[in-house]
Amino acid sequence: MKWDEFFVTGDPLIYGADVSIVLTMAGILFYMTRYKKWKWLWTEWLTTVDHKKLGIMYIVSAVLMLFRGGVDALLMRTQLAVPEAKFLDSQHYNEIFTTHGTIMIIFMAMPFLIGIINVVVPLQIGARDVAYPYLNAVSFWTFFIGAMLFNISFVIGGSPSAGWTSYMPLASNELSPGPGQNYYLWGLQIAGIGTLLTGINFLVTILKMRAPGMTLFRMPMFTWSSLVTMVIIIFAFPILTVALALMSFDRLFGSHFFTLQGEGMDMLWANLFWLWGHPEVYIVILPAFGIFSEIISTFSKKTLFGYKAMIWSMLLIAGYSFLVWVHHFFTMGSGAAVNSVFSITTMAIGIPTGVKIFNWLFTMYRGKIQFTTPMLWSLGFIVNFVVGGVTGVMLAMAAADYQYHNTYFLVSHFHYVLIAGTVFGCFAGLIYWYPKMFGYKLNERIGKWVFWLFTIGFNVCFMPQYFLGLDGMPRRVYTYSEESGWGPLNMLSTIGGFMMGIAFLVLVYNMYYSFRFAKRETTGDAWGGRTLEWSTPAAMPPFYNFAKIPEVTGLDHFWRQKQEGKVEKLTAKDIKKIHMPNNSGVPFIMGSFFFVLGFGFVFDWMWMAIIGLIGVIGTLIYRSFEYDDGYYVSVEEVIETEKISK
Amino acid sequence: MAHAETHDPNTPLEYRSEVGRLNILGFWIFLGAEIALFATLFATYMVLTHRIADGPALGELFEVKSLLIQTFLLLTSSFTCGLAVHEMRRHNVKGLMLWMIITLGLGLGFLYFEIQEFLHFIHEGANIGTSAAWSGFFVLVGTHGAHVTFGIFWVTMVLIQVAKRGLTPATSAKVFITSLYWHFLDVVWIFIFTAVYLMGMVMHHG
């Protein structure tokens, strides 16, 4: 392979990216060395097994990926702003919509939510960490390495260009030669391992690590939504694992699962992909539902309306999520009977979702509503998500879908549910739990600017796309003719897209501004919260979370304690020594070997893949022989950390 | 997180530490994910089983003798694995070691005959690239075989730890988890036996 095949060449945009990557790396190296931060980075972050720090690392990675995916989006919108634009050529455009979709779903939405789950769930259930802290670090590093592997594709080797759905035979060796599609296969495969491990880890954590007295039906709604999400992950991700492996075999070893030769079946890929892909949609929406439930309840100063109905509707949604996958390809030609069944199951999902919407509305009814920024995002969610939901029911009608299929109507629909649902949820959760993570709130005034800019921009961007779709504009085209008449609405859509971009920048500015100027929280209860995570005396819980494990007597335990004036004050007598897990550098090293393995497979360099594989197995063996029983935090240290007077 | 705990004397050794209990539950859930994984492979195989292109039909090459030997070896190994855990609960390290080593031997025998069978198929002109049906066969049965291979290495590692450290709540939980894994592979084989070999031969010979 020649060097100009290894590095992507010939496009000034890519050269610009090369320069900025090199400059950023140099800047980081200089800063870290100049201020002697390397040891701090290693001991505090790279080797940590603390769920709160891992959660923050997930969220930081996700925000970076939101930037990357957002830049992709704006490049596409720039190209589409006017008819017959020459900004991007068709291949480059294909690569960008592929990486945009893949990054936003796999490397932005999921890790953002998993990050929030990491930070919040152990605190909400009164636990000191997750069931398997070490495995949690392995999860993070496999996710991070998968994301990095996927992301370097645009400067090294070329990006995948077969869409985030990677339909066969388009994604085959014949039609997508070279490393691009391999990046997709191995980036997702490696990150998928981490996601499955997270699923197992948090399911066991929620089932087994709850504080005494917290029965299943006393758990906060966000914890419930996480529990249901983990169950979906455990049964959905192995399907993706298999599908990716089979496509890898087709590309590497000449098998005939999805190929046109050898009587392979290309639509089998579509079925397997969406058998995972549709549950995946619920993996990224249910935790957001949980976040909104917490926020709406907190800022209405009321217990969540219809708590049990909320749980049962989530369980129903989880079940249905595995029974609707064919609606992604009604036009495949399965026949009227099959399409009717999947049409009905799809519409049926609207019922439990509707139950949830009404429960949120009734929670606010006669509540004392505070219009904080997390609450604004939640209210914005209800309005905009319903628009996405209603158009979803339109798409669910198989006969009508023949008209909407693969048009901008569909593009607009899933952006209305994924942005108004998942992204609004991520922002709301980030702002709501920001003081728990960093000890101060994000500035509310700037936060309101972000909300209005983003929400208006979002509607300006995507509302026109419904009409473009109804007018016949297909998705995944890099340009369109003047005569089509789609120019003005596309220009409007682009303007909205850039408003969202500006809103993102203001959000990042708010992080900087608040870091510099925000008032530091003096208690653990920044918003007048209801659940256990707000009951820690310090704004940011110490690494062991709770000096004394709370005893829970019912739903909204902490809120009722406050109402009844019975918030316990810790005394030195309460303190016992605390058992905690040791940090470990092995997960990071294992992740690095996964990178070597993935990179080797991407370029078909088997020697490199084998080195990586040996490294991964070596770290597994090392861990198996390591008997690490953790350590105890002494009573004195806890007393000092909690600032208890003797 | 391990605490000093009091136990019912009848609590099996592997359930006596909190870490052991959590790990065993987590592994059961992992097996749930494995069921989803194999179910996907089975579904793929079923969809593709008649798509033989220009290659031989699956049932044409299957042989009863090799199949029965493999099945006998693997099913017996599940039984001896159960005996090993039984000995472990009697705190008999020697018995545990003996039965587990016999289990590994039977597993190796299974692998030997499986590899022989694969080589035979390849010799007869059926490999992973012959047709969609053979792709499905090799990847489904091969994934099971890869699991058995991994299991043999894993059990060996755990036995070395038992030899070094004796039976503790930690090592016994590891032995117990590997035994769950081993039995699971046996269950998967019963489905392969039925859905792949029996159905393949019946379909072909009628």
pLDDT in tens, A507-532: 999 999 999 999 999 999 999 999 99
Rounded CA gap, A503 and A509, in Å? 10
Contact check, Cβ <8 Å, B48/A268: yes
Q: Scanning the structure block, which residue is given the tokens 């058995």?
A: B148
Residues of chain B with C-beta less than 8 angstroms from the C-beta of A208: 21-22, 25
A564 pLDDT higher than 70: yes
Residues of chain A with C-beta less than 8 angstroms from the C-beta of B130: 262
Rounded CA gap, A68 and A88, in Å? 17
The partner residue sitting opposite A238, judged by closest CB among B3, B40, B48, is B40
Question: Which residues, at least 6 apart from A156, have a Cβ–Cβ distance to it below 8 Å?
Answer: A6, A7, A8
Helix, strand and coil in chain A, % to nearest 5: 70, 0, 25
Contact check, Cβ <8 Å, A200/B136: no
CA B166 → CA A338, A361, A620, B96, distances in Å? 58, 60, 21, 11
pLDDT digits (tens, 9 = 90+) for B10-66: 788 888 888 899 999 999 999 999 999 999 999 999 999 999 998 999 988 999 999
Rounded CA gap, B97 and B204, in Å? 44
CB B149 within 8 A of CB B111: yes
The partner residue sitting opposite B157, judged by closest CB among A208, A268, A624, is A624
Contact check, Cβ <8 Å, B33/A208: no
> Stretch A325-329: mean pLDDT, rounded?
94
Contact check, Cβ <8 Å, A242/B52: no
DSSP-assigned letter for residue A443: P
Residues of chain A with C-beta less than 8 angstroms from the C-beta of B21: 208
Please report the DSSP string for A540-562 in residue order. Answer: SPPTTS-SS-----STTHHHHHH
- SS3 state at A395: helix
CA distance A72 to chain B (A): 33
The token pair that represents B131 in the structure block: 């047709």
**At residue A441, what is the residue type?**
K
B interface with A, Cβ–Cβ below 8 Å: 1-3, 21-23, 25-26, 29-30, 32-34, 36-37, 40-41, 44, 47-48, 51-53, 128-133, 135-136, 138-139, 157-158, 161, 165, 170
> If you compute the radius of gyration of chain A from its CA atoms, what whole number of angstroms results?
25
Burial of A470 (0-12, 13-18, 19+ CB in 10 A): middle
CB B107 within 8 A of CB B76: no
Residues of chain B with C-beta less than 8 angstroms from the C-beta of A203: 29
pLDDT of B5: 56
**At residue A568, what is the residue type?**
E
The partner residue sitting opposite B128, judged by closest CB among A199, A253, A630, is A253
A1 pLDDT higher than 70: no
Beta-carbon pairs below 8 A across chains A and B: 118
Contact check, Cβ <8 Å, A272/B40: yes
Nearest CA in chain A to B159: A625
The token pair that represents A444 in the structure block: 């509310």
pLDDT of B10: 79
CB A546 within 8 A of CB A128: yes
CB A381 within 8 A of CB A294: no
CB A432 within 8 A of CB A291: yes
Contact check, Cβ <8 Å, A625/B157: yes
The partner residue sitting opposite A265, judged by closest CB among B41, B51, B129, is B51
B1 pLDDT higher than 50: no
Mutation target to probe the B interface, by most B beta carbons within 10 A, among A210, A256, A325 is A256
The token pair that represents A289 in the structure block: 């539902």
DSSP-assigned letter for residue A631: E
In chain B, where the domains are located: 23-205
CA distance B196 to chain A (A): 17
Question: Which residues, at least 6 apart from A565, have a Cβ–Cβ distance to it below 8 Å?
Answer: none
> Stretch B96-112: mean pLDDT, rounded?
97
* pLDDT > 70 in chain A, percent: 99
pTM: 0.95
Rounded CA gap, A215 and A211, in Å? 9
pLDDT of B2: 43
> Stretch A209-238: mean pLDDT, rounded?
96
Residue A100 confidence class, pLDDT cut points 50, 70, 90: very high
Nearest CA in chain B to A620: B154
Longest CA pairwise span in chain B (Å): 66
Helix, strand and coil in chain B, % to nearest 5: 80, 0, 20
The token pair that represents A516 in the structure block: 């510099």
Q: Scanning the structure block, which residue is given the tokens 């009409």?
A: A467
Does an H or E element contain B160, and which? Answer: helix B132-165
pLDDT digits (tens, 9 = 90+) for B113-165: 999 999 999 999 999 999 999 999 999 999 999 999 999 999 999 999 999 99
pLDDT of B6: 62
Residues of chain B with C-beta less than 8 angstroms from the C-beta of A621: 157
> Is the preceding peptide bond at A169 cis, omega within 30 degrees of 0?
yes
DSSP-assigned letter for residue A528: -
Rounded CA gap, A429 and B81, in Å? 49
Residues of chain A with C-beta less than 8 angstroms from the C-beta of B138: 255
How many DSSP H helices and E strands does chain A contain?
22, 2
Q: Scanning the structure block, which residue is given the tokens 């920024």?
A: A373
Rounded CA gap, B58 and B106, in Å? 26
CA distance B128 to chain A (A): 5
Residue spans of alpha helices (H) in A328-369? 336-364
Contact check, Cβ <8 Å, A264/B48: yes
Mutation target to probe the B interface, by most B beta carbons within 10 A, among A136, A263, A545 is A263
- SS3 state at A397: coil
User: What interface predicted TM-score (ipTM) does this complex get?
Assistant: 0.94
Tell me how far apart the terminal alpha carbons of chain B are, to the nearest angstrom.
58
pLDDT digits (tens, 9 = 90+) for A105-157: 999 999 999 999 999 999 999 999 999 999 999 999 999 999 999 999 988 98
Domain B23-205 fold = Four Helix Bundle (Hemerythrin (Met), subunit A) (1.20.120)
**At residue A516, what is the residue type?**
R
The partner residue sitting opposite A630, judged by closest CB among B1, B135, B170, is B1
> Stretch B88-108: mean pLDDT, rounded?
96
Burial of A368 (0-12, 13-18, 19+ CB in 10 A): exposed
pLDDT of A154: 87
The partner residue sitting opposite B41, judged by closest CB among A242, A261, A581, is A242
The partner residue sitting opposite B129, judged by closest CB among A203, A255, A275, is A255
A77 pLDDT higher than 70: yes
Burial of A538 (0-12, 13-18, 19+ CB in 10 A): middle
Rounded CA gap, A311 and A31, in Å? 48
* Selection from A146, A69, A97 nearest residue A419 by Cα: A69
